[in-house]
């Protein structure tokens, strides 16, 4: 979620999976694309040679239940990226939406403010050197 908000501050639309709480952050066609993943973990491992320890279950909001994890396919990602590239108006709309969402998101603003406050309280006022 924080990655989505951070990208949004720069006007970068997010492309993500429609799992867990991501659809609540990435509103499909408003700040990015929230896609239904199609690859099983095994299929993903076969095409990517990656061995990632995925959670045994994820929340599927469409089915409203826990399910084995699925992953976005390279084709889904490529199609979404190409769609943004070929449709500047869509990119601009999603970019503006992402920027607006990040600007009003209390979660991101609160996190940034808390982090800055904690860093300031830990700052050593003595000169270094």
Residue 80: CB atoms within 10 Å: 17
Pairwise pLDDT comparison (66 vs 106), residue with the higher score: 66
Name the token pair of 67. Answer: 């399910």
Identify which of 29, 18, 28, 21 has the alpha carbon closest to the alpha carbon of residue 2: 21
Which residues constitute the domain of residue 96?
A: 2-72+83-122
Of 8-17, 34-43, 52-61, 79-88, highest mean pLDDT:
79-88
Q: Is residue 117 part of a domain?
A: yes
Q: Tens digit of pLDDT for each residue in 41-77? A: 999 889 888 777 888 999 998 889 999 999 999 999 9
Name the token pair of 107. Answer: 């979660």
d(CA 14, CA 94): 9
Number of domains in the chain: 1
Q: Is residue 129 part of a domain?
A: no
What percent of the chain lies above the pLDDT cut of 70? 91
Q: Is residue 105 part of a domain?
A: yes
Q: Is residue 127 part of a domain?
A: no
Q: Is residue 55 part of a domain?
A: yes
């Amino acid at each position: 979620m924080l990655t989505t908000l951070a990208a949004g501050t720069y006007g970068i639309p997010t492309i993500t999976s429609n799992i867990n709480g991501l659809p609540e952050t990435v509103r499909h066609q408003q700040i990015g694309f929230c896609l239904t993943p199609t690859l099983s973990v095994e299929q993903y491992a076969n095409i990517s040679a990656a061995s990632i320890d995925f959670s045994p279950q994820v929340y599927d909001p469409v089915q409203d239940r826990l399910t084995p994890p699925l992953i976005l396919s390279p084709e889904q990602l490529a199609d979404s990226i190409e769609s943004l590239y070929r449709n500047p108006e869509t990119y601009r709309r999603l970019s503006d939406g992402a920027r607006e969402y990040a600007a009003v998101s209390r979660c991101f603003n609160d996190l940034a403010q808390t982090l800055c406050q904690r860093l300031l309280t830990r700052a050593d006022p003595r000169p270094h050197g």
